[in-house]
Structure 1
Amino acid sequence: MVVSESIGTAALTDYVKQQSRIESLHSSAAVHNDDFVGIASYNIFCGVAVATVFGAAFFFDLFFPERYEPKNIRWSWRLSAVFVTLCTIGDALAFTVIVATGKSWISADTQDAEEIAQEKINPPLVYRHNGRAIAATVFLWLGLCATVASCILMWLYYQHHDTYGPKSHTARMRDDLIEENADTICANCGMVLAERL
């Protein structure tokens, strides 16, 4: 998601600069690229939302694995994961459709239109001819796959956590063994102390 967000932001910046440049050079010109500007902005939101939810969850689970979380907080994490996953699905579908079928266009009076037609337009008006827009789309789909996998993993983690607690099977076995040995050692120490007294 971060790569798609970054490349999409670069493409967004190119189209916004193009709009400013053309409209400042030609008084009657208006560049219409709101569809790409809108979906690229939404792509930024989705990237930040995914990073916030899954990044925070990873951070807390890494540094505080045995923390107590009330049931409503555990459900909040799950529902947040589903929400950002659905947002990302919508983002990927809309971004793909807009890049594949959309284009920006320029309206101007006749004289400005002739001057604009002779200029080299960069980035291309047809979105699918823009390499950055295509790259952002491809990386968005890869990010979507990772987001879906992260959502599934989060649900499985909380299912495991609700059943067994935060520790793995091996860690639980190790702790049980240490606890049993500690009880045995304490019992043996007590017998030795009683004999000495």
Structure 2
Amino acid sequence: MTKIWGFDLSEMHWSAFGSKEMMDPRYHLRKQRIIVYKIAMSVSLAAECTATYSLSKYNSHQSHIESYPFPSASPVQATENNESLIRAAISTIVFCVFVATVFGADFFFLLFFPRRRYPLWWHRLRSGAAVVVMLGVFASAVASTVVIATQEATIYGPGVTEDVRQQVIQAYARPPLRYRTWPQNIAWAVLVWLAFALTAASTALLLRASAYDKRYGPEERAEGVARDYDDGSERERITPAPEKTTKGRRGEVGSEKGAVGV
């Protein structure tokens, strides 16, 4: 029985990926967290990929413009300014990777070690990381939307006139200088907002589950069992089941322990 950092590796098995085990209702909010985490990570990956695609295309576009074959005697040295889009893309990529890191790790532990109870420092670290990542994705969504909706790349440099600019644009028409006219950029903005909404939902579920785990443990409380923490103790208070009644021969009602019959 191999253990690493207290984790029993014998608990890791392929059947954990089956829907029956993943949707096991014995653990508080586990099913909901697994579903929302998976969707959030998938959408964040899609946003990351579209941002990476735009970043790559505009970097290549800039390189093509800088290497445009102007006549050797021409003093023109053209380049492209697309820094705002590059920064927004990098921000989106970084925080979408963090979404996969934070919620992917929690997904892993939920999948293989659902019964494990964690120390307080881990709950605080995990909750803090989730909130920071959520805010980062929100900032990336706002920045990406503003840049794509309102800005465009510019061609400038020594000797660059409007005629030179149009000449270069005709040679390298894609991606367009105006960001909002390229469908890939629109897809990026839409996906990063969806990623934020799902990351916020994942964070809310994580915080709720963390608060529950710290108080009760990962398993759902049994019906009729409640805990009283008003005095700081951890005593269980058992709520008695309702007493069954039976009817006597003359319609008189009594308890099951001693039904009345005359």
TM range (shorter): 0.7 to 0.9
1:115 matched to 2:167:
yes
Say which of 15, 28, 36 aligns to 2:58. Answer: 15
Match of 1:42 in 2: 91
TM-score computed with the length of structure 2 as normaliser: 0.62
Q: 1:118 to 1:141 in 2, by over 3 A?
A: closer
SS in 2 for 1:28: coil
My pick for the range that moved more, 16-25 or 117-126, is 117-126
Secondary structure in 1 matching 2:147: helix
Larger mean CA deviation between 105-114 and 120-129 belongs to: 105-114
Taking the aligned partners of 2:202 and 2:47, their CA distance within structure 1 comes to 17
TM-score, normalization: structure 1?
Answer: 0.82
> Per-residue deviation at 1:120?
4.4
Q: Which amino acid aligns with 1:43?
A: T
Equivalent position of 2:46 in the other structure: 3
Please tell me the residue identity of whatever aligns with 1:24: S
- Tell me the alpha carbon deviations over residues 56-113 of structure 1, each in whole angstroms, 9 at most, x when there is no partner: 0111121112223210111100000000001011011111000000100101423743
Moved more, 111-120 or 77-86: 111-120
Counterparts of 2:214 and 2:166 in 1: how far apart (Å)?
Answer: 68
| Residue 152 (structure 2) pairs with residue 103 (structure 1) | yes
Residue 152 of structure 1 aligns to which amino acid in structure 2?
A: A
- The alignment of Structure 1 onto Structure 2 pairs a total of residues equal to 173
The offset of 1:115, in angstroms, is 2.9
Question: Secondary structure of the equivalent of 1:103?
Answer: coil
The secondary structure found in structure 2 opposite 1:169 is: coil
Tell me if structure 2 keeps the 8 A contact 1:81–1:151.
yes
Post-superposition shift, 1:155?
0.4
Q: With CA pairs under 8 Å and 6+ residues apart, which has the higher RCO, 1 or 2?
A: 1
Report which of the two has the higher share of helix: 1
AA aligned to 1:130 is: W
In structure 2, relative to structure 1, the CA distance for the partners of 1:33 and 1:152 (3 Å cut) is same
Partner of 1:130: 182
Shift of 1:170: 5.3
Report what 2:18 is aligned to: none
Deviation of 1:114 (Å): 5.2
Give the deviation of 1:12 after TM superposition: 1.1
Q: 1:165 is matched with which residue: 214, 217, 241? A: 217
**2:180 and 2:152 mapped to 1: Cα distance?**
8
Q: Residue 5 of structure 1 aligns to which amino acid in structure 2?
A: E
CA contact (8 A) 1:78 1:155 kept: yes
- Segments of structure 2 that go 5 or more residues without pairing to the other structure are 1-43, 70-75, 226-262
SS in structure 1 at match of 2:67: helix
* 8 A contact 1:4–1:139 mirrored in 2: yes
* Structure 1 unaligned spans of 5+: 174-197
RMSD of aligned C-alpha atoms?
2.0
Q: Is the 8 A contact 2:61 2:172 kept in 1?
A: no
Superposition deviation, residue 117 in structure 1: 4.5
Partner SS, residue 122 of structure 1: coil
Q: 1:62 aligns with which of 111, 114, 127?
A: 111
